[in-house]
């Protein structure tokens, strides 16, 4: 449940992210958009791309409408074998790293996202995993809920993706269950349906 206290925490977290430096925001306009070399999407409405070294890993973009602590789309555009699905900091104290491997099955890929999203102690529950087309090829679709440890906010999430030529292409969206998730859910569904992979 979103309370005034939780909204204040979200706002404070957003300010802290902005103050850490090395963060820029780029507007992602409506219309057709190439993400990487092979993924093509169509957007109905503009999004904000957050360019921050400590937010996403290789071959991934992070988009938001309301701010990263509120809603987030992760767009993977050709994650290669043995690359992590999240930002990986250096140093021996690094938490467990979740890497994609080109021979993974859908349930193993979803397990990577579960691992990534629970690295901070949050609780992940898989609600659905089923075969689905993505980008014109056979892929998968999954839905989940997350109880975020930092503020106990209930998060809803959905993702679709496929492995093509040994690379992972996926779109994962999440936001608080109340208000924010349904606000952009249909728009995200249209983005996922618009995905096309170039040969």
> Which of the four pLDDT bands, split at 50, 70 and 90, describes residue 23?
confident
Which tokens go with 168?
A: 């992972």
Q: Structural domain tally of the chain? A: 1
Please report, for the domain that includes residue 123, its CATH number. Answer: 3.40.1000.10
The alpha-helical segments, DSSP class H, found in the chain are 4-19, 106-117, 180-194
What does the pLDDT read at residue 148?
93
pLDDT above 50 for 17 = no
**Is a pLDDT exceeding 60 seen at residue 5?**
no
On average, the pLDDT of the chain sits at 87
Report how far residue 94's alpha carbon sits from residue 13's, in angstroms, rounded to the nearest whole number.
Answer: 22
Evaluate if residue 1 carries a pLDDT over 80.
Answer: no
8 A C-beta contact, residue 98 and residue 79: no
pLDDT at 89 > cutoff 80: no
Query: pTM for this structure?
Result: 0.85
N- to C-terminal Cα separation, the chain:
44
Determine the structural domain holding residue 98 and report its residue range: 4-87+94-197
Does the pLDDT value for residue 16 go beyond 50?
A: no
């Amino acid at each position: 449940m979103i309370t005034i206290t939780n909204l204040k925490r979200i706002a404070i977290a957003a300010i802290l992210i902005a103050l850490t430096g090395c963060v820029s925001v780029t507007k992602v306009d409506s219309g057709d958009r190439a993400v990487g070399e092979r993924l093509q999407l169509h957007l109905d409405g503009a999004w904000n791309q957050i360019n921050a070294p400590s937010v996403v890993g290789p071959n991934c973009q992070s988009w938001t409408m309301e701010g990263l602590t509120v809603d987030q789309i992760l767009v993977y555009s050709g994650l290669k074998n043995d690359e992590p699905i999240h930002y990986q900091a250096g140093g021996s104290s690094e938490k467990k790293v979740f890497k994609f491997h080109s021979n993974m099955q859908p349930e193993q890929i979803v397990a990577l996202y579960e691992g990534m999203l629970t690295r901070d102690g949050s609780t992940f529950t898989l609600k659905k995993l089923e075969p689905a087309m993505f980008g014109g090829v056979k892929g998968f679709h999954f839905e989940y809920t997350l109880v975020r440890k930092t503020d106990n906010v209930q998060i809803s999430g959905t993702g679709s993706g496929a492995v093509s030529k040994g690379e992972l292409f996926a779109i994962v969206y999440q936001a608080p269950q109340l208000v924010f998730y349904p606000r952009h859910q249909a728009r995200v569904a249209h983005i996922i349906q618009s995905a096309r992979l170039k040969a």
